[in-house]
Amino acid sequence: MLFNDTHSPEEVRSLVTRAMDTTPERVERALSATNASFSDFLALISPAAADFLEQLAARAQRITRERFGRIVRLYAPIYVSNECTNSCAYCGFNKGNEVRRITLTPEEVFEEARALWHEGFRDILLVSGEAPNKAPLSQLVEAARMLSRDFPSISVEIYPLETEGYVSLERAGVEGVTVFQETYDPELYTKYHLGGKKRDFDFRLATPDRIGAAGMRKIGLGALLGLGHWRFEAVSLAMHALYLQKTYWQTNVSISFPRIRAASGGFLPPSPVSDREMAQLAFALRLLIPDIGLTLSTRETAEFRDGITPICFTSTSAGSKTEPGGYTRPGEATEQFAIEDSRTPGEVAEAIRGMGLEPVWKDWDRAFIAAESMESLPKDAERMA
Ligand code: SF4
């Protein structure tokens, strides 16, 4: 069963079959709906809707401007550790790969963050492989605590934790957790997750529930595009996001669109997703869930990012390094994957302005929330400047 025992993979498959049978007339009806229903969403991800991509983009863009205005948030990842005890077939950090591995100390994370702070970033994402012995939660908590005075927005993308782990991160100043399910198809999941704790599909699937239960301000979802059939992942993602919004209404849910890139080990995506298919998915999600944040990373080319960002994306990374130490001592560790958009953060910001949008480095401050939450933050941490 998926999502709190309410949806099964069989149900998702039958909905995908319904989408595949959509007629052009049904797509037109879905495009003209004031508020897209789930049935409209199925029509919008159908093969028939691929011929209506321009109309779909126009609707998505109008909704994005109405709901979010003309802004795009900028963030950057800091890879804390590329140690990992898992064997994900598609990942360069797979424990079976011979790569240069590093785990940064909290002080070294601070130095990476300082480099990003000087680039203008106030929103960072701490990333780590699953190696609790080398990169324990206590170290991630310590790093977040050190950064929380200078970075109003800190998120993490790390191995799944129990609820208490998320509570301790939140108290250290973390406001969001991203956890990609990779694929919502349990059989494929088993096929591509060959060893380690990550093999547990159900534990991973329930992770956003634990994040929501911990009271985290943001939950980021995503499927690794290229593993399973994209329409199966689209239906599952949409259902998952709607379920989380309803269950943890105080938490913002967002969706990212990681597409498989070449990694150490030479993994090739079994179900490649084209630019048009990825665009169709993002546009359809915008119509179904108008308020949801959509995030695009530097995995994508500059040309594709510049074309699609103004239509429906609300957040994007820039100048990313995908290895620990990448901003202050590049080349010492192996990167997770090669990024496609190698522009500097300043160049990305300029490109966003060229789209008639405003790049936003900071849109949140912990001073906005209750005073008791601030008590756990450091009183005299070293500052960036
Ligand atoms: S995807 Fe994550 S968990 Fe899997 S091998 Fe890579 S770093 Fe480890």
pLDDT given at position 372? 47
* Cβ–Cβ under 8 Å, residues 202 and 160: no
Q: Whose CA is nearest to atom 1 of ligand 1?
A: 91
Share of the chain above pLDDT 70, in %: 92
pLDDT beyond 70 at 353: yes
**Which ligand 1 atom is nearest residue 182's CA?**
1
Average pLDDT over residues 325-340: 91
**Which ligand 1 atom is nearest residue 82's CA?**
7
Pocket test for ligand 1, best of 80, 88, 201 (most atoms within 8 A of CB): 88
Kindly report, residue by residue over 238-270, the tens digit of the pLDDT: 999 999 999 999 999 999 999 987 655 678 899
Pocket test for ligand 1, best of 198, 224, 260, 322 (most atoms within 8 A of CB): 198
pLDDT beyond 60 at 187: yes
pLDDT beyond 70 at 370: no
pLDDT beyond 80 at 128: yes
pLDDT given at position 385? 65
User: What's the CA-to-centroid distance between 221 and ligand 1, angstroms?
Assistant: 16
pLDDT beyond 70 at 6: no
pLDDT given at position 126? 98
pTM: 0.93
SS3 of 346, please? helix
SS3 of 344, please? coil
Averaged pLDDT of the chain: 93
Write down the CATH superfamily of domain 68-361.
Aldolase class I (3.20.20.70)
Average pLDDT over residues 133-158: 96
pLDDT given at position 263? 57
- Sequence length of the chain is 385
Show the tokens assigned to 41: 């969403």
When pLDDT is cut at 50, 70 and 90, the band that residue 382 belongs to is: low
Please calculate the CA angle 197-200-203 and round it to the nearest 5 degrees. Answer: 105
128 burial via Cβ count (<10 Å: 0-12, 13-18, 19+): buried
**Which ligand 1 atom is nearest residue 198's CA?**
3
pLDDT beyond 50 at 173: yes
User: What's the CA-to-centroid distance between 54 and ligand 1, angstroms?
Assistant: 36
Kindly report, residue by residue over 7-27, the tens digit of the pLDDT: 789 999 999 999 999 999 999
DSSP string, 100-126: ---B--HHHHHHHHHHHHHHT--EEEE
pLDDT beyond 50 at 3: yes
301 burial via Cβ count (<10 Å: 0-12, 13-18, 19+): middle
Q: Is 226 left (phi over 0), alpha (psi -120 to 50) or beta?
A: left
Q: Whose CA is nearest to atom 4 of ligand 1?
A: 88
More confident residue, 378 or 241: 241
pLDDT beyond 50 at 178: yes
